[in-house]
Amino acid sequence: PDTQVGQELLRFPPDFLWGAATASFQIEGSTTADGRGPSIWDTFAATPGKVEGGDTGEPACDHYRRYASDVGLMADLGLGAYRFSVAWPRVQPTGAGAVEERGLAFYDRLVDSLLAHDIQPVATLYHWDLPQALEDRGGWRDRDTAYRFAEYAALVHARLADRVSVWTTLNEPWCSAFLGYGNGIHAPGVVDPKAALEAGHHLLLAHGLAVAALRAQAPADHRLSIVLNFSSVYADDPAHGEAVRKVDGLQNRFFLDPLNGKGYPADVVADTAWLGDWRRVVRDGDLDVIAAPIDWLGVNYYSPTRVALSADPSRVTPGPFPGLRGVDLVPPRGELTGFGWEVDADAFTDLLQRLDRDVSVPLVVTENGSAFPDEVTDGRVADVERTRYLVDHLRSVHTAIARGVDVRGYFAWSLLDNFEWAAGYSQRFGIVHVDYTTQRRTVKDSGHTFARVVRNNAVPSHGHRF
Ligand code: GBH
């Protein structure tokens, strides 16, 4: 009954890594437990009007206390890997100096529990929860934050290095810089496009310094990476290629090119020059630090971006892209997720093939997923749209691999419904449903489907039932 006529299995490579991803602030709760200091997201969420429904990091998924049963859930799903992030303010409550042993001990317990279930830990050192004390000194606008990050990264790595060998420095510096300091829809909520580009540089510098620090102390088999959020950019009218170039520059190449040792893209530098000279923060040697070799690149993909040239070429484009002018961001079309993001699985294959040309290290899909409003009915969550999104996007990954792209793994975003940043708890991305009143977890149909994908190391060639 599960299969359709003509259905076959599309197999993934033998050692393909299957997992699910989360982030500390989105799931942990317990925001004042065991000496944790405040982060910029605690402050932002406590500021009226910033997060939908006035939602905060409490209780989230209460994962700080329920991690052991959550790891049990991962084991039930058959996951081979789990991507989590470490909360900097748990480890260094003020972002510098003294280590809070109780905070570090939580990640010890989490890692031990994963290993006891044969689940490979994949640790992200920064998924947006900057210690508030560092923001009070300028946050990512201040160069010093990059050095503090490298120190913090080295001490977390030193503690877990005997058990965790796969590491990510930053998750999506695009969001930290451009949403945090550009249009202010994320913490710390600063609206200053020039500062956003400067923050982008300090984040890349922080990555490079952390890679150097980890490399100096890591065993040779440790694998270091950064995770970027990419989008394929399209214009309907081929005459609007200039709009594609501009948005691709700020979405993708601003981060990719310096990591690839090419420095900041000349066209982006020219397009943003009217904001003032943000490159004054780029010091001699910084670009070499940023270009430190990594072992793999994390790819987060959700939706494509559609653009057109504005009728008025000097019009400043409202939205997250600092300094963008003369471009209209075209509304999404076709099937949309509950968040209003466009569903386009072919754009994912395009993206992976493009990255294969632009990147010389293996790729891992570190996030991919969709938000829809789910309900538990008789103990079941029939999330038809999310299941279809999942299977279609997995077929896109399979197609890219068949075309020669070196993709080593796929992590579903997210293991659990969780605190969806400015949208609070209103958007559910989990393959497992969370009832925020009872903290009950219910594996959604998409979760059961993902478990079958993992078990078979394959997706069905047609349809979505499996
Ligand atoms: C990721 O960011 C985060 O890493 C993760 O923490 C988060 O929970 C997850 O995605 C879901 O949001 O407005 O239609 O043009 C995603 C970065 C940037 C992707 C904005 C979608 C806008 C799409 N996002 N982008 S649209």
Look up the ipTM and state it: 0.93
Q: Where do the DSSP E strands lie in 289-445? A: 296-300, 305-309, 327-329, 363-367, 407-413, 432-434, 441-443
What local confidence, expressed as pLDDT, does residue 6 receive? 73
Does the Cβ of 60 fall within 6 Å of ligand 1? no
Q: Which atom of ligand 1 approaches the CA of 332 most closely?
A: 14
Cα(77) to centroid of ligand 1, in Å? 25
Helical packing angle, 345-358 and 384-402, nearest 10°: 30
Place of tokens 């490079």: 208
What does the alpha-carbon distance between residue 104 and residue 156 come to, in Å, rounded to a whole number? Answer: 8
Instruction: Give me the helices (H) in 297-436, please.
Output: 345-358, 384-402
Does the Cβ of 332 fall within 6 Å of ligand 1? yes
C-beta separation of 180 from 199 below 8 A: yes
Does the Cβ of 229 fall within 6 Å of ligand 1? yes
Instruction: Give me the helices (H) in 188-249, please.
Output: 193-217, 241-248
Q: Is the pLDDT at 1 greater than 50, yes or no?
A: no
Q: Which atom of ligand 1 approaches the CA of 342 most closely?
A: 14
pLDDT per residue over 130-183, tens digit each? 999 999 999 999 999 999 999 999 999 999 999 999 999 999 999 999 999 999
Does the Cβ of 129 fall within 6 Å of ligand 1? no
36: tokens are 């944790």
List the residue whose alpha carbon is closest to atom 26 of ligand 1. Answer: 341
- 52, 301, 302, 317: which to mutate for ligand 1, most atoms within 8 A of CB? 302
Cα(366) to centroid of ligand 1, in Å? 13
What local confidence, expressed as pLDDT, does residue 4 receive? 63
135 is catalytic: no
Radius of gyration of the CA atoms of the chain, in A = 21
pLDDT per residue over 174-212, tens digit each? 999 999 999 999 999 999 999 999 999 999 999 999 999
pLDDT per residue over 333-376, tens digit each? 999 999 999 999 999 999 999 999 999 999 999 999 999 999 99
List the residue whose alpha carbon is closest to atom 12 of ligand 1. Answer: 420
Range 438-452 average pLDDT: 98
Does the Cβ of 303 fall within 6 Å of ligand 1? yes
**Dihedral sign (CA 338, 344, 348, 351):** negative
C-beta separation of 206 from 149 below 8 A: yes
Confidence of residue 464 (pLDDT cuts 50, 70, 90): confident
- The Cα angle at residue 403 between residues 400 and 407, in degrees rounded to 5: 45
172 is catalytic: yes
pTM (predicted TM-score): 0.97
What local confidence, expressed as pLDDT, does residue 5 receive? 67
342, 367, 385, 420: which one is catalytic? 367
Percent of the chain with pLDDT strictly greater than 70: 99
Query: Mean pLDDT score of the chain, rounded to an integer?
Result: 97
Cα(420) to centroid of ligand 1, in Å? 9
Does the Cβ of 171 fall within 6 Å of ligand 1? yes
C-beta separation of 71 from 64 below 8 A: no
Q: Which atom of ligand 1 approaches the CA of 429 most closely?
A: 11
What does the alpha-carbon distance between residue 269 and residue 399 come to, in Å, rounded to a whole number? Answer: 35
